[in-house]
Amino acid sequence: MGMNRRLCLITGASSGIGAEFAKQYAALGWDLALTARRADRLQVLAAELHARHGVLVEVIPEDLANPGAPPRIIAALEGKGREIDALVNNAGYGLPGTFLSTSWSDQADFLQVLYTAPVELTHRVLPGMAARGFGRIINVASLAGYTAGSAGHTLYGSVKSAMIKFSESVAAECETLGHKDVHCTALCPGFTWSEFHDVNGMRETTNKMPKWMWMEAAPVVKAGIEAVNRGQPVVVPGVFNKAVATLTRILPEPVGRALAHSQTARYRKLEG
């Protein structure tokens, strides 16, 4: 029954964009595997989606800061005889403070969760997708991957930029090797309403920003799913975000850096 449906693995699925991905894939009739640290939230979401859409939902509580998490997640699904047809690498957070004021342990965990773990999960699921002739990988990057570096949250922009390049490379390799229905897309949202800004301590600051700069999670996720289905390597949802991404490409680099520096206090927390 459910074993004949496609399965989508979503990281960071307990809230925000991750939970919205779960809702939209469930509405499309996909079974789900949801992973995050908060098992209680995953269970509530799983029960809701099963009741509403009749899909099977596996809950796998894991902390991706632990290097052993990616292989355990894959092994848990393989142990149930499930193949992963789609992967949404969504788990992430912002690390407040400067590089000088934060510990290496915190920075290492950040790199593990936002870069190493999604790259490893992609590496683990991609061979099966290629062998079956179907696969969808969405890496949730950010508009910050396009903008110049600035003070605070030091590694965030560089990691998101790397996720964009990584996604483009995987997409190009799949196309070059003839895996025509295996697609990889970097989804690059700007400011999106979610718990993300509560976790990184920026809610008070971001609440002062103009509402037209923000998007709801639903259209962001919809743009990502539609883009990966048509084989688009990168998608920037929203008119404002598209304008910013375009502007970063045409502005002289010194101007872009000066602009980013002048806006730092609006969207970066320099104290941990």
Catalytic residue IDs:
156
CA distance 164 to 143: 10
The H or E element containing residue 236 is: none
Q: What is the 3-state secondary structure (H, E, C) of 239-266?
A: HHHHHHHHHHHHCCHHHHHHHHHHHHHH
| Of residues 11, 3, 9, 135, the one with CA closest to residue 63 | 11
Instruction: Report the distance separating Cα 146 and Cα 142, nearest Å.
Output: 8
Q: Is the dihedral of CA 197, 35, 219, 120 positive or negative?
A: positive
Q: Are 166 and 139 in contact (CB under 8 A)?
A: yes
Q: Give me the DSSP letters along 11-57.
A: ESTTSHHHHHHHHHHHHTT-EEEEEES-HHHHHHHHHHHHHHH---E
Q: Which two tokens stand for residue 40?
A: 């209680």
